[in-house]
Amino acid sequence: MKAQPIGGRLISPVTLVLSVLVLLAVFFAAQRFLFGFGSVANINDGFPWGIWIAWDVVIGTGLACGGYALALLVYIANKGKYHPLVRPALLASAFGYTLGGISVIFDLGRYWNFWHILLPNYQQYGSVMVEVALCVAAYILVLWIEFSPVLAEKFGWKGVQAFTDKWMFLAIALGVLLPTMHQSSLGSLLIVFGYQINPLWQTLFLPLLFLISAIAMGYAVVVFEACTASAGFKRSLKDELPLIADLSKVMAWLLVAFILLRLVDILVRGEIGAMFTSGFKSFMFWVEMTLFTLPVAMLLSPSAKRDARTYFLAACSMLLAAVLYRIDAFLVGYETGPGWHYFPAVPEIMITLGIVAVEILGYIIFVRFFPVLPGHSPDRAH
């Protein structure tokens, strides 16, 4: 099952559509950098964070937790059998985090000062944002180091290979530590907002809830990727299916922990009423909770079917739930005072879509050219 490049044509309807999306995003990004974000985005003084933070950074890095979640399993829990899934997961993580990090620049009003964060004399160590920013920046580096054997294998860089063989354990250790820090801190960011976040989401357990859901997202995304890649590249899932089944189970138990923690926390804080009386927010809460619960039911009930479709749908439900959880916590559950509104503008959405498109496009190009996916010959001609 040594990883192999899958080869094949680059130009297809999918890649063409993705390229158009990227070009559109480039157009709007140019507008944003030339005329300021007022010209493309609906973010305002009441809602300084829109989808460029909530989606591109918070959800983007959450979706990129596959590498982290697998590293926990493979290297910490010593389950070597999951190793074939590591490379694709790392690739998605590296892309997700790199683009998440870059997209912060879109959201910085004076983006030309972005490098200030890297200089100690500009840093304020009481700030959650400094922690997140530095940690994410460091993790992006670590991810590319973790991914570098793939590039070294392809291009025959013997030196890099020797170096990573010797020191990879350090990168792996950091690759487990850093996301634990910043994925929980993404939740801490909201604690700072205090009463402006609806009590359905505001809790001192936000860091833990964000961390658990990020790890669960990691497993879900690995399952999602394996299924999508198999369908998209018309590869058999035969070899990966047992691994996917086990990962799904781990994810389901994480979700049980998440749901229990969340409900008990709401109960203890005495905010049960808010689950029913907060109008649209209550509705969103229930949609979220339903989506969190569905995978548990699908995966852990004794009568559930054990096939790829179940795992795929369970992963989708989990991902949707975690995405909604973050959007709700950052945007829907956020109220800064009367009169303030936010809904992403079309150009704003197009920039975010463009970033997603770059990610998918990059993934397609990489798996075609580099030894990423576990190797077995495509079972159907294409």
Partner 1 sequence: MFQDEIEALEAKLGLERRAFLKFCAALAATMGLPKGADAQIATAIASPAKRPSVIWLHFQECTGCTESLLRAEHPTIEKLILEIISLDYHESLFAAAGHQAEAARYAAMAANKGKYVLVVEGAIPVKDGGIYCKIGGKTALDILKECAADAAAIIAIGSCASWGGMPSTPPNPTGASPVNAIIKDKPVVTIPGCPPNPYNFLSTVVHFLTFGALPKIDEQGRPLFAYSRLIHENCERRAHFDAGRFAMEFGDDGHRKGYCLYKLGCKGPETYANCPSILFGDVGSGSWPVGTGHPCFGCTEKGVGFYKPIHQLADVKNVVPPASYPRIVEEQGVGATLGSAAVVAAVAGLAAGAGYKLAGNLGKDSSDKDAAE
DSSP-assigned states of every residue in 292-319: HHHHHHHHHSTT---SHHHHHHHHHHHH
Which residue in the set 95, 210, 342, 363 belongs to the binding site for partner 1 (CB under 8 A)? 342
DSSP annotation of 10 reads S
Which residue in the set 136, 142, 294, 345 belongs to the binding site for partner 1 (CB under 8 A)? 345
Residues 6+ apart with CB under 8 A from 350: 21, 24, 25, 28
Compute CA distances 125 → 15, 129, 180, 221, 280, whole Å.
43, 9, 18, 33, 37
Which residue in the set 11, 34, 119, 346 belongs to the binding site for partner 1 (CB under 8 A)? 346
Is 42 near partner 1 (CB under 8 A)?
yes
Is 307 near partner 1 (CB under 8 A)?
yes
Total residues contacting partner 1 by CB under 8 A comes to 37
Is 183 near partner 1 (CB under 8 A)?
no
Which residue in the set 192, 306, 378, 382 belongs to the binding site for partner 1 (CB under 8 A)? 306
3-state class of 197 per DSSP?
A: strand
Which residue in the set 76, 267, 343, 382 belongs to the binding site for partner 1 (CB under 8 A)? 343
Is 287 near partner 1 (CB under 8 A)?
no
Choices 77-85, 97-105, 174-182, 229-237 (CB under 8 A): range interacting with partner 1 = 229-237
Query: From the CB of 231, what's the least distance to partner 1, in Å?
Result: 5
Query: From the CB of 357, what's the least distance to partner 1, in Å?
Result: 11
3-state class of 373 per DSSP?
A: strand
- CB 303: neighbour CB atoms within 10 A? 4
Query: From the CB of 185, what's the least distance to partner 1, in Å?
Result: 27
Is 341 near partner 1 (CB under 8 A)?
yes
Query: From the CB of 315, what's the least distance to partner 1, in Å?
Result: 10
Compute CA distances 127 → 50, 324, 329, whole Å.
20, 26, 20
Is 382 near partner 1 (CB under 8 A)?
no
Report d(CA 62, CA 211) in Å as an integer: 9
H/E stretch holding 4: strand 3-4
Which residue in the set 5, 8, 46, 199 belongs to the binding site for partner 1 (CB under 8 A)? 46
Strand partners, 197: 334
Q: Sketch the per residue contact string, 244 through 263, with partner 1: x for CB under 8 A, - otherwise.
A: xx------------------
Query: From the CB of 237, what's the least distance to partner 1, in Å?
Result: 6
Compute CA distances 145 → 86, 90, 315, whole Å.
14, 10, 28
Residues 234, 239, 241, 247: what is their CA dihedral angle, to the nearest 10 degrees? -120
Is 334 near partner 1 (CB under 8 A)?
no
Which residue in the set 159, 339, 377, 381 belongs to the binding site for partner 1 (CB under 8 A)? 339
Choose between 69 and 345: whose C-beta lies nearer to partner 1. Answer: 345
Is 238 near partner 1 (CB under 8 A)?
yes
Residues 6+ apart with CB under 8 A from 278: 198, 200, 285
Is 110 near partner 1 (CB under 8 A)?
no
**Surface-to-core class of residue 255, CB atoms within 10 Å of its CB (0-12 exposed, 13-18 middle, 19+ buried):** buried
Report d(CA 86, CA 84) in Å as an integer: 6
Is 241 near partner 1 (CB under 8 A)?
yes
Query: Which positions lie near partner 1, rule CB under 8 A?
Result: 42-47, 227-228, 230-232, 236-238, 241-242, 244-245, 306-309, 311-313, 316, 339-346, 349-350, 353
